[in-house]
Amino acid sequence: MPRYAFRIEYDGRSFSGWQRQADQPSVQGSVEDALTKLDSTIDSIAAAGRTDAGVHALGQVAHADMENEWDPFRLSEAMNFHLKAFPISITACTGVPEDWHARFSAIERRYTYRVVQRRAPLVHDAGQMWRVKKSLDIRRMQKGADYLIGQHDFTTFRSTMCQAKSPVKTMDEITISEAVYPAGREIQIKLRARSFLHNQVRSIVGSLERVGSGAWKPERMKEALEAKDRAACGPVAPPDGLYLTGVSYNPEIFEAI
C-alpha cells in the first residue's frame, strides 16, 4: 500500500490533544475522519509526537497508508476540503517508502514557546500565548537554560505520567529572544532535540519564567536538573504558548520550516 507523509498545522484550543479519544475531539480523529472520506480502508495514522490539549502545531508530521496511488498535491487539497470545518491544515504532502515512519524516522523535533509580557488581557492572541505580568530578564533566562544543554537525566522536568523508558535526553539547543510591539513584549523560547519527555518543554519554560522574574537565580536551573526530583521543578507553563514547529528527517521530505 502506498504510504504518504503529511505536514500538519493546527490550533490546539479546539482539541483534547493530538491522540484520538472516544468521547473528546482530537486532531488525530479529525484527520483520520477526513482520510476515510477519501479511502475507507484507512485504520489509523501515526504522528511524530502527541501534543497535549491546547498545544498548537506548525509542523506536526504524520503518515498514512492508502489503498490507491494519489498525486500528493491532490491528496492534500482533498484533505483540506474535508477539514475545512476544523482549525487544521495540511500544508504539505509527499509519498514516502513503506518502511518510513513519522515517529521512528525522525531525527529532530523543534518547539517554540511564546510568552507575552503585558498587564492587559489578550484578545487576538488569547489561547495562543502565555501572558505574564512581571518583567522577564531574558539574559538571566538564557543563562539558566544553558545548564540544560547536552545529555542529562531530565526527571525533574518530566511529567509523573510520562511513559518514556528513560528520563535521559539530549537537549541540543535552547535559545531565548524577544520582540517589542505596541501591544506588548513577546519572548520566544526555542528548543531543539531528537525527542522530548512528556511535559518537558512546559516544565522547562515554567522554571525559566521563575528565573526571568527574579524569583530564582539562574543557577537554580542546574540545581533543579541535578536533583532529579519532580518537586524541584517550577510551575508548569500552560499549553497556550506551545507550538510544535517542525520535525526533521534524513533525508528531508519537506522544505524546512
How many Å apart are CA 192 and CA 111, to the nearest integer? 7
Q: Does a structural domain hold residue 253?
A: no
Mean pLDDT, the chain, integer = 95
Q: Which long-range contacts (CB under 8 A, 24 or more apart) does 104-108 make?
A: 105/249, 106/48, 106/61, 106/194, 106/195, 106/247, 106/248, 106/249, 107/194, 107/248, 107/249, 107/250, 108/172, 108/192, 108/193, 108/194, 108/247, 108/248
pLDDT of residue 182: 82
* H or E stretch covering 172: strand 168-181
DSSP 8-state assignment for residue 240? G
pLDDT of residue 75: 97
Q: What is the pLDDT of residues 5-32, one digit of tens each?
A: 999 999 999 999 999 988 899 999 999 9
Three-class SS of 181-199: ECCEEEEEEEEEECCCCCC
**Is 70 exceeded by the pLDDT of residue 212?**
yes
First vs last C-alpha separation in the chain: 29
Domain limits at 18? Answer: 3-104
Instruction: Give the domain CATH number at 96.
Output: 3.30.70.580
- 100 and 122 part of one domain: no
Instruction: Give the 3-state secondary structure of residue 248.
Output: strand
Among candidate residues 240, 26, 231, the one with its CA nearest the CA of residue 115: 240
Active site residues: 52
Higher-confidence residue of 221 and 1: namely 221
Work out the average pLDDT over 217-224: 98
Residue found under cell 502506498: 2
Predicted TM-score of the model (pTM): 0.95
Regarding whether 237 and 123 lie in a shared domain, the answer is yes
Q: Which amino acid is at 80?
A: N
Share of the chain above pLDDT 70, in %: 99
Alpha carbon 215 to chain centroid, angstroms: 27
Domain boundary among 104, 134, 150: 104
Under a CB-based contact definition with an 8 Å cutoff, are residues 100 and 63 in contact?
yes
Position 65 confidence tier, pLDDT thresholds 50, 70, 90 = very high
Nearest residue to 118 via CA among 215, 211, 185: 185
> In angstroms, rounded to a whole number, what is the distance separating the alpha carbons of residues 210 and 218?
9
Count how many domains the chain has.
2
Same domain, 15 and 32: yes
Are both 241 and 198 inside the same structural domain?
Answer: yes
**Are 186 and 239 in a shared domain?**
yes
**Residue type at 135 in one-letter notation:** S
Residues 100 and 128 in one domain: no
Which residues have CB under 8 Å from 153's CB, separation 6+?
167, 168, 225, 228
Task: State whether 72 and 128 are in the same domain.
Answer: no
Residue pLDDT, tens place only, 71-95: 999 999 999 999 999 999 999 999 9
CATH number, domain of 117, equals 3.30.70.660
